[in-house]
Amino acid sequence: MDDEVLINTLAESKETSKAVNVRVKEAEEAAVEIDAACKEYTQVATCGSILYFVIADLANINPMYQFSLFYYVRLFNKCIDLAEKNDEIDVRMNNLQVSIMMNIFLNVCRGLFEDDKLTFSFIIATAFQRHGNEITAAEWSLLLRGIGLLDLSKRPDNPDPEFFTEKMWDFVYGIQVYSSDRCAGLCEHISTYMDEWKEWLAS
């Protein structure tokens, strides 16, 4: 009798073990699928994150601009609901981002003074460019703080002091230095093609 109980117990344990292994495998497969789905939506999450911190920083422009996280999450979820549905993941991602950008921008703008709406647009645009490294940290610092302690000993001579003040020409040199990948030789180019630059700047 004892042997029969032992055999039955072992058989049940074996079946339980098989069932557990099946469930573990199913859970692992489900985790892989969930992880893949999450990665597909990363760009949407990034978009939402960038916009949230832009909106949170609006208080630096005017202390009246206070938007709670609760308000933002509720608005973000509403944008997802409003986005046009599509079975194609790339199309769906684009629809979500367009809905989020447009609806959050319009809703937040309702609470801004007219003079600050353009600033808000500028901050959004540069926030996404900075995230994509289209604007480097050095370039952003130059825009906000000026040339700082930049060594001007190698700065080319001002080609037209009547058109460029020394401060303006220092800044042009700062662009050349801090954005060297894209603006190498900027001062020399302006000096060489001064008339063309004047015409472009006046247009």
Give the pLDDT of residue 6: 61
Q: Count up the domains in the chain and report the number.
A: 2
90 and 168: one domain? Answer: no
Residue 62 CA to residue 183 CA, distance in Å, equals 35
117 and 161: one domain? Answer: no
| 192-202 pLDDT per residue, tens | 999 999 999 98
Place of tokens 């080609």: 159
Show the domain range for 33: 1-135
2 and 71: one domain? Answer: yes
Give the domain CATH number at 70: 1.10.8.1220
Residue 180, amino acid: S
Give the count of beta carbons closer than 10 Å to the beta carbon of residue 100.
Answer: 21
Give the pLDDT of residue 116: 97
Confidence of residue 2 (pLDDT cuts 50, 70, 90): low
| 35-92 pLDDT per residue, tens | 777 788 899 999 999 999 999 999 999 999 999 999 999 999 999 999 999 988 889 9
Give the pLDDT of residue 38: 76
54 and 96: one domain? Answer: yes
104 and 165: one domain? Answer: no
69 and 103: one domain? Answer: yes
Q: What is the mean pLDDT of residues 6-31?
A: 74
Give the pLDDT of residue 91: 93
| Secondary structure (H, E, C), 102-137 | HHHHHHHHCCCCHHHHHHHHHHHHHHHHHHCCCCCH
29 and 75: one domain? Answer: yes
Residue 194 CA to residue 203 CA, distance in Å, equals 14
124 and 153: one domain? Answer: no
94 and 176: one domain? Answer: no
Give the pLDDT of residue 161: 95
Q: Show which of 79, 104, 135 is a domain's final residue.
A: 135
In this predicted structure, the answer to whether residue 107 has a pLDDT above a threshold of 60 is: yes
Cβ(171)–Cβ(146) under 8 Å? yes
Residue 79 CA to residue 101 CA, distance in Å, equals 9
Give the pLDDT of residue 40: 82
Q: What is the signed CA dihedral for 157, 160, 161, 162, rounded to 10 degrees?
A: 180
Please indicate, yes or no, whether the overall pTM of this predicted structure exceeds 0.85: no
Q: Show which of 88, 109, 135 is a domain's final residue.
A: 135
In this predicted structure, the answer to whether residue 3 has a pLDDT above a threshold of 70 is: no
99 and 110: one domain? Answer: yes
Q: What is the mean pLDDT of residues 99-109?
A: 96
Residue 14 CA to residue 60 CA, distance in Å, equals 65
34 and 59: one domain? Answer: yes
122 and 60: one domain? Answer: yes
Task: Identify the weakest region by mean pLDDT among 26-30, 140-144, 178-182, 190-194.
Answer: 26-30
Q: Within its chain, how far is the Cα of 157 from the centroid? A: 38
Q: Is 96 in a helix, a strand, or coil? A: helix
Q: What is the mean pLDDT of residues 165-178?
A: 95
Q: Show which of 115, 135, 155 is a domain's final residue.
A: 135
